[in-house]
């Protein structure tokens, strides 16, 4: 039985990693999916490899006008939005005494400003029983070296989601967050760090994880599907750490 038959789902950053696996997971549950990405080539590649009722939209979550257009195209195609998965994000690591303005603004623009304006555009098209899901991170629960700005963006997103839970309760819209631990995705190759440093960080993460490994994108996607489903109808305002126990020790 498909849990999300004919539900309309919007997913940002759906062309790779967690986003791509979530697109596939929602389609497998009968949803109609609109997903975004910043590179047309990547979107075209994904579109040619999946099946189901979907739309791929070129959009950058850091740009307010792109967020507005993404929602407009979703509503034009399907009439409403039942699930919004705010997944896209960027992560750049640098010691506190080596950051610059671009390091700061690029992460805040994508990880918190963009989501806030995306939600602003989506709310009026969401009905009672709809669901908003944020992809946060366990970084704001720990104290990972060189991740100060990235952690701050995810902490801000969690705080935003908490307030949104209160604001949208009268509309019957649930708001939840997923905080992934280390997940095997391409984001680690985009942090602006030397390859050797990235490899060492990966070894450290795996060694400090109770399960001794990185998670897989599908393990996040399955939680997103659950939070969007009727099975989670009484779950609201929480942040689920999907991290192998890393944030709990």
So which residues are the catalytic ones? 150
Q: How far apart are CA 116 and CA 37, in angstroms?
A: 18
Token digits for 229?
């489903």
Cross-sheet strand order for the sheet of 239-242: 54-58, 32-37, 8-11, 83-86, 131-135, 174-180, 239-242
Residues 6+ away with beta carbon under 8 Å from 78: 8, 32, 34
DSSP assignment string, 141-184: GS--TT-HHHHHHHHHHHHHHHHHHHHHGGGT-EEEEEEE-SB-
Q: Is the dihedral of CA 234, 151, 141, 197 positive or negative?
A: positive
């Amino acid at each position: 039985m498909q849990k999300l038959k004919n539900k309309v789902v919007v997913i940002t950053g759906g062309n790779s990693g967690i986003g791509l696996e979530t697109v596939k997971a929602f389609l497998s549950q009968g949803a109609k999916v609109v997903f975004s990405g910043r590179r047309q080539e990547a979107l075209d590649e994904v579109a040619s490899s999946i099946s189901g009722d979907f739309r791929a939209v070129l959009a950058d979550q850091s740009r307010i006008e792109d967020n507005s257009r993404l929602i407009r195209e979703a509503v034009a195609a399907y009439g409403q939005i039942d699930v919004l998965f705010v997944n896209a994000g960027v992560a750049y690591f640098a010691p506190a005494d080596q950051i610059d303005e671009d390091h700061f603004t690029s992460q805040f623009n994508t990880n918190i400003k963009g989501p806030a304006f995306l939600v602003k555009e989506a709310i009026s098209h969401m009905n009672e029983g709809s669901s908003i899901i944020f992809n946060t991170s366990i970084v704001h629960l720990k104290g990972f070296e060189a991740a100060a700005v990235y952690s701050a963006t995810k902490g801000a997103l969690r705080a935003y989601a908490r307030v949104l839970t209160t604001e949208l309760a009268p509309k019957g819209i649930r708001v939840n967050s997923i905080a992934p631990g280390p997940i095997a995705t391409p984001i680690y190759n985009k942090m602006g760090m030397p390859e050797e440093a990235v490899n060492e960080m990966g070894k450290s993460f795996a060694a400090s994880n109770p399960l001794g490994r990185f998670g897989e994108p599908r393990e996040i996607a399955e939680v997103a599907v659950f939070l969007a489903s009727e099975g989670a109808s009484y779950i609201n305002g929480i942040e689920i750490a999907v991290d192998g126990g890393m944030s709990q020790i």
